[in-house]
Structure 1
Amino acid sequence: MSSEEIILEDNQLVCILTNKHKKATSQEKSIQSIIRMLNEEYDFDLKNIDRDVNITFTDPDTGKVKKQKIEVVIYEENSKRNQEDITRIGIVQDEKIKDNDNKKGVTITLENALAALDNCEFGLWTNGNDLKYLQKEDDEYNFDFKFSDLADIPGYGETIEDLDRADRSNSRKPANDSLIKVFKRSHDYIYGNEGRKKDAFWQLLYLIFCKLYDEKRRFICIEKGESYRRKFWVGIKEKNSDAGRKNVAKRIKDIFEELKQEGTFSDVFDGNEAIDLTDKGIAFIAGELAKYSFLDATVDVKGMAYETIVSNTLKQEAGQFFTPRNIVKAMVEMLNPNENTRVLDPACGSGGFLVLVLDHVRKQIAKKMYPDLEDVLLAEKFNTYEVNEKVRQYAETNIFGFDFDPDLKKAARMNMVMAGDGHANIFHVNSLAYPKWEHPSEIEKINLAINNSLAKMKDIDSNYTNDARGKFDMIFTNPPFGAKVKVEQEIAEKYFLSKYSDAPEILFIEACYDFLKPGGKMAIVLPDGILGNPNTFPVREWILENFKILASVDLPVEAFLPQVGVQASLLFLEKKTDLDKNIAHESDEDYDVFMAIAEKLGKDRRGNPVYIRDEEGAEMLFTIENKYVSTSKDGTQEVKSRVEKQKMVDDDLPKIVSAFLSNSK
């Protein structure tokens, strides 16, 4: 990666095809997204893609020659790139244009363009949110063309018959923001067309889980020695007829009933859940989801897509605000858990910390199993059966999450299954009340899970309590804080620190201390008041007496905006052993503490991205080689790359992580 001194004005981007500066309108961003999608997901080479191409045609009514601009076209390989060489087209409109617009909608633009191109059978239309695929076919009765809605269009070297095979198992690997758009499009469809505004989120998740379960059946089939044949699929035109939609709906509902009984998924559901969408709705969303392989998508891609939906539903309903991914990633990387680390988040929300711990350890496992592979070829192994088995075993044994909100418990379990299992140890419990609570059955489940983990990891100690206290090697958490969050007096008074405050964030520090093993480490988000206010001085004294301070990272006020404005820091602590405490009492402690200030987190107060600028304030461009793996129909893999000039978000956290790890060696 290298930077170039090219002045890029605000609200500009560089086209990956032409390297020209373009105004970053919604239409232009969508053009760039479609080009990346066609290149990386559909495997069309950039040299065969062009943009803003004028085609000519004769108006059948007037006989006059007219022109139409096509935003994205794909030419036949090694052709002269003439109009007759165009094989695919993409019409890209502004986000405000609807698909039925009488001037720029699907019919007047895409159908017209396809009719004008002799050798182009397939095209797409998008406004950045909606995405329509069409096929042009001869209409023998009217001596004209007819246009059929498709669930997808063929990629490079594919035919429409390839897409229509029920046994097709190599779904597309989502690139850039494709999965986010699919999730959002599906959620908006349920919300707007199915009359299910209250449970659109859950209905979408049920369908996502059907897709995940169907993909995971590959591994179930391997264990049973059976051949895998997918059940979650939609015929390329199946959603166009009542009979076809009925068949899709039956397949999907059958999968849902099956997965609710299957071991991996059964404890995610209560058993009485149902997919209550119309056949048309199920067919539409299944068609959207079926295009992609969720297992092969990176955790970042899946996590961003999942959290986009969660952020628009559970967060608003529960008044909860979760930790931004770059902060979570930095905290996990700084403590660097491995496959022998038992991890807890006692306020896990939708599972953001636990998912990234799982991903962090997955990469270590894959590297150990495939030491000769690097980069994208190693990433291709992240979801092999062998890696998945080790990841599943680690997660089932070593990853734990507690949350007070039962809906968030379910959301976290679903998030963990999407990331690679480990959902079984997500519990609905008030961590501050543990080990006592008004739901004793849940406490029993926690204690049983902990004892199973101790037995598998062979680290049972006779001095341990027979519950979760004193059992964890690491804790990652962002506890609830603020004046609105109250802790019942009966719960608060069990903590020593309640003498100074009953604020949940302060009591959580002591609760985390109780959950950690001696020598265990924690990374916690805390409001700056704890670390600086005179009235919390006794709290800081208690922290210093019971923990070693490993690091402190000050965050800017933008960290949690636009959801909530709070000045916070990341504190990294190590629970002292009895020996550590004795040494500290006998002599003055003297050790180094890593301290850093993060001035930029890659976004402004409104949540808009902030990019690296030069000394004169101009946004800088970086030349980046994006590598990806192309898989042919016969399963052959090839590493391809795409060089782009991109802006880079201005985020200090990766530099802080690097400095901390260097100092820790």
Structure 2
Amino acid sequence: MAEEIKDEIVLNDDELICVLTGNKKKANAKELMLQSVILQMNEEYGFEMSDMKRDFTFSFQDEEDKRKRVTVDLGIFRAGATKEPENLERICIVCDTKVKAADSKKGVESTLNYALRASSCDFGLWTNGDELHFSQRIEDAVGNEKIVDIADFPGVDESIEDMERRGDRSQPRKPANDSLIRTFKRCHDYIYGNEGRKKDAFWELLNLIFCKIYDEKRRYLCAERNESYHRQFWVGVKERNTIEGQKAVAKRIKSIFEQLKTDAIFKEVFAGNEQISLSDYGVAYVASEIAKYSFLDATVDVKGTAYETIVSNTLKQEAGQFFTPRNVIKCMVEIINPTINSRVLDPACGSGGFIVMVLDHVRKQITKNMFPELDGALLEAKANSDTVNAKVKEYAENMIFGFDFDPDLKKAAKMNMVMAGDGHSNIYNINSLEYPNGTLPDIDRVSESVANSVKHKGDIKDCDSAYSLENAMGKFDCIFTNPPFGSKVEVASTISENYELKAFTAPEVLFIEQCYNFLKPGGKMGIVLPDGILGNPNTEPVRKWILEHFKLLASIDLPVETFLPQVGVQASLLFLQKKTAMERLVDPNSEMYDVFMAIAEKVGKDRRGNVIYEKDDDGAEILFVEKKEWASYNHNGELIARHRTERVKHVDDDLPKISSAYKKFLEGSR
């Protein structure tokens, strides 16, 4: 539970509280990166906050016996020891993005390596946010020293020898805060800028990410077969620094890629003729960056945000397509509240944001049901256990569906679902507005998959008998969607003529009717709609049609900032329930029932996409004391719960409050 702090520290918009010292700092690019490094050292590498000191200065004598001083941005000391130079175990140098690694004054050699030579410390890190470099100081038997590049440095109670010896048995870390986002971006930028792959850097990165995921999934297969699991996707700490090591890594990773293309889970994602086209060094570089993390142990929020950051920057918003913010998706899923018995569809799934969130929502329900005695970080860690994953895989294979007419988005969504932890996903390249007709590749596969789902659940009697048993119509419990809309988007008359609302060629209108067709009687949907449909005089027939066919569950007005800076639209979230045949006999004008209505004034960001935080009446950002808890592996490979107390700002977002208010509204209406 958070405790609000008042009258202690007043923050301006450009200030933050250091997680290590509790002091006020300017929130510039360097400071934000330093905060990220501090959290990373604590949560991923296991160093205690009490053993860290920022802006640590020490003096030394150079070769000419002159006394000089060195300041490092973050010093990490031997556990429990005094913060003296002789107790330094790790040095971290942080620069802003303008400083490059080769800079003569602030680069790796002139700052990090210089500090390592000046101290007794053996390991260091240098970063500007875009680049990340690790160094090791080595002394030979007669005292000669040199600095070498390494792919990573050891965590707490770990040596470089441990890392080298473990190799394929090493335990990857659970990513903390924004480190996975930075890693994905760093790898993407490297491929884009150094490998001559400007057009397909995104896909080259995904090839390697999925080699990593495939290799992690092998541990479950090995467990089923009672076989010993050894990682294939790993990079030795010094392996990428030699030509021989680079070749060995590239051979290892490319072998995994050939295996996964024939695997049942992945062969629907890949055509089979794809190749990893990066240089040996490029493969070794990217692989070493992502090998240190466990993707399956990372939360869906962490993976999803990292993945969608790259997707949204790569697949441009064309033909009215733009990506739905995660807080909007989460609010919609929480309000509809799908369960393990819900067959779910997004008929315009894009990169898969809604269906991935549904999978995570149901995963949490499954985990809590299986481990009712646990809570907090240890319960969260169980969400990726073998028993939970088996249930999640079964659910995703049989109950989650996504359609999109863009083949690239189909592939992106498929990969997003695999990354979220499902074994297989029903994502198809069709035009939902044409269905059950159409010429796109997957049209025939949809009916078969939905029929298998109905057979699996045994709910044919609950499906809408007004539709054929041979297609997907009338068979979904829940629909979530943000259909393409905008003045430039119009549906062909050959498609719209098949709809009752054929007078309207805007896709968002026809999607409302098609979602009705996809739903079971009593099925629920959450849809993002432009405000014009709900308020313009010329769309009154649409509103009349909605009230004749649906019960209105909830309506949430969104501020214009919601989709900025992608696109400026005034939109609302509409939640509807398909009427049964009996309910449709009632005149909508005489119906009496409660409807939940809310206005979201803040969605956590301004018009430029900058995060905004809760403020007091005087306009100062409010600080809260919170206990931050997380699970991590110790050096013995045991999962343990760790925590710290920190002062944090809360994002000023009304949507979590609205979804909570809706739950209370439901409880009060029962």
Same fold? TM cut 0.5: yes
Cα contact 1:399–1:422 (8 A) shared by 2 = no
Measure the CA separation in 2 of the matches of 1:316 and 1:519: 34
Pick from 534, 557, 561 the counterpart of residue 558 of structure 1.
561
Secondary structure of the equivalent of 1:497? coil
Measure the CA separation in 2 of the matches of 1:132 and 1:197: 24
Pick from 571, 576, 579 the counterpart of residue 573 of structure 1.
576
For the pair 1:476 / 2:483, whether they are aligned, the reply is no
Cα contact 1:267–1:424 (8 A) shared by 2 = no
Q: Which amino acid aligns with 1:348?
A: C
Measure the CA separation in 2 of the matches of 1:169 and 1:76: 23
Q: Which amino acid aligns with 1:27?
A: K
The residue that corresponds to 2:119 in the other structure is 117
The residue that corresponds to 1:649 in the other structure is 651
Taking structure 1 as reference, are residues 479 and 318 closer, same or farther at Cα in structure 2, changes over 3 Å only? closer
Q: Deviations over 1:82-106 (max 9, x none)?
A: 1101111101112211000000100
Q: C-alpha displacement at 1:589, in angstroms?
A: 0.3
Q: Deviations over 1:572-616 (max 9, x none)?
A: 00000011112347x810000100000000000000011101001
The residue that corresponds to 1:376 in the other structure is 377
Measure the CA separation in 2 of the matches of 1:400 and 1:350: 13
The residue that corresponds to 1:620 in the other structure is 622
Secondary structure of the equivalent of 2:483? coil
Cα contact 1:414–1:423 (8 A) shared by 2 = no
Cα contact 1:162–1:168 (8 A) shared by 2 = no
The residue that corresponds to 1:519 in the other structure is 522
Measure the CA separation in 2 of the matches of 1:422 and 1:154: 33
Q: Which amino acid aligns with 2:273?
A: N
The residue that corresponds to 2:327 in the other structure is 326
Measure the CA separation in 2 of the matches of 1:285 and 1:163: 18
Measure the CA separation in 2 of the matches of 1:647 and 1:566: 28
Alignment of 1:228-239 (within 5 A): 228-239=229-240
| Deviates further, 157-166 or 226-235 | 157-166
Measure the CA separation in 1 of the matches of 2:170 and 2:626: 31
Q: C-alpha displacement at 1:168, in angstroms?
A: 2.2
Q: C-alpha displacement at 1:58, in angstroms?
A: 1.5
The residue that corresponds to 1:448 in the other structure is 448
Q: C-alpha displacement at 1:648, in angstroms?
A: 1.0
The residue that corresponds to 1:104 in the other structure is 106
Q: Which amino acid aligns with 2:92?
A: G
Gaps of 5+ in 1: none
Pick from 473, 490, 496 the counterpart of residue 492 of structure 1.
496
The residue that corresponds to 2:152 in the other structure is 152
Q: C-alpha displacement at 1:460, in angstroms?
A: 1.6
Cα contact 2:212–2:233 (8 A) shared by 1 = yes
Measure the CA separation in 1 of the matches of 2:364 and 2:499: 38
Q: C-alpha displacement at 1:423, in angstroms?
A: 4.3
Q: Which amino acid aligns with 1:557?
A: V
Alignment of 1:401-440 (within 5 A): 401-421=402-422, 423-439=424-440
Gaps of 5+ in 2: none
Measure the CA separation in 2 of the matches of 1:429 and 1:472: 17
Pick from 486, 489, 511 the counterpart of residue 508 of structure 1.
511
Q: Which amino acid aligns with 2:559?
A: P
Measure the CA separation in 1 of the matches of 2:347 and 2:84: 62
| Deviates further, 559-568 or 459-468 | 459-468
The residue that corresponds to 2:18 in the other structure is 15
Cα contact 2:320–2:488 (8 A) shared by 1 = no
Pick from 533, 536, 541 the counterpart of residue 539 of structure 2.
536
Measure the CA separation in 1 of the matches of 2:435 and 2:13: 51
Alignment of 1:262-281 (within 5 A): 262-281=263-282
The residue that corresponds to 1:92 in the other structure is 94
Cα contact 2:137–2:146 (8 A) shared by 1 = yes
The residue that corresponds to 1:128 in the other structure is 129
Cα contact 2:601–2:654 (8 A) shared by 1 = yes
Q: C-alpha displacement at 1:421, in angstroms?
A: 1.8
Q: Which amino acid aligns with 1:109?
A: T
Q: Which amino acid aligns with 2:189?
A: D
The residue that corresponds to 1:195 in the other structure is 196
Cα contact 1:166–1:231 (8 A) shared by 2 = no
Measure the CA separation in 1 of the matches of 2:254 and 2:489: 40
Cα contact 1:239–1:284 (8 A) shared by 2 = yes
Measure the CA separation in 2 of the matches of 1:634 and 1:127: 32
Secondary structure of the equivalent of 2:261? helix
Measure the CA separation in 1 of the matches of 2:624 and 2:431: 47
Q: Which amino acid aligns with 1:636?
A: E
For the pair 1:337 / 2:338, whether they are aligned, the reply is yes
Q: C-alpha displacement at 1:320, in angstroms?
A: 3.0
Measure the CA separation in 1 of the matches of 2:358 and 2:423: 11
Q: Deviations over 1:538-569 (max 9, x none)?
A: 10000000000000000000011111111000
Pick from 53, 56, 63 the counterpart of residue 56 of structure 2.
53
Q: C-alpha displacement at 1:420, in angstroms?
A: 1.3
Cα contact 1:238–1:244 (8 A) shared by 2 = yes
For the pair 1:26 / 2:16, whether they are aligned, the reply is no
The residue that corresponds to 2:85 in the other structure is 83
The residue that corresponds to 1:589 in the other structure is 591
Q: C-alpha displacement at 1:311, in angstroms?
A: 1.1
Secondary structure of the equivalent of 1:312? helix
Measure the CA separation in 1 of the matches of 2:394 and 2:170: 25
Cα contact 2:429–2:443 (8 A) shared by 1 = no
Q: C-alpha displacement at 1:625, in angstroms?
A: 1.1
The residue that corresponds to 1:547 in the other structure is 550
Q: Which amino acid aligns with 1:494?
A: N
The residue that corresponds to 1:346 in the other structure is 347
Compute the TM-score of the two structures, normalised by the length of structure 1: 0.97
Measure the CA separation in 2 of the matches of 1:583 and 1:532: 24
Q: Which amino acid aligns with 1:329?
A: K
Q: C-alpha displacement at 1:140, in angstroms?
A: 5.8
Secondary structure of the equivalent of 1:473? strand
The residue that corresponds to 1:355 in the other structure is 356
| Deviates further, 354-363 or 9-18 | 9-18
**Count of matched residue pairs:** 659
Measure the CA separation in 2 of the matches of 1:616 and 1:270: 58
Secondary structure of the equivalent of 2:76? strand
Measure the CA separation in 1 of the matches of 2:547 and 2:170: 56
Q: C-alpha displacement at 1:635, in angstroms?
A: 3.0
Measure the CA separation in 1 of the matches of 2:222 and 2:320: 42
Cα contact 2:531–2:571 (8 A) shared by 1 = yes
Compute the TM-score of the two structures, normalised by the length of structure 2: 0.97
Measure the CA separation in 2 of the matches of 1:88 and 1:483: 56
Q: C-alpha displacement at 1:225, in angstroms?
A: 1.6
| Deviates further, 188-197 or 128-137 | 128-137
Measure the CA separation in 1 of the matches of 2:137 and 2:117: 7
| Deviates further, 172-181 or 122-131 | 122-131
Taking structure 1 as reference, are residues 570 and 378 closer, same or farther at Cα in structure 2, changes over 3 Å only? same
Q: Deviations over 1:594-650 (max 9, x none)?
A: 000000000000000111010011111111111012322323333211111111110
Cα contact 1:562–1:607 (8 A) shared by 2 = yes
Taking structure 1 as reference, are residues 538 and 444 closer, same or farther at Cα in structure 2, changes over 3 Å only? same
Measure the CA separation in 2 of the matches of 1:272 and 1:140: 52
Q: Deviations over 1:408-436 (max 9, x none)?
A: 00000000000012643000000000000
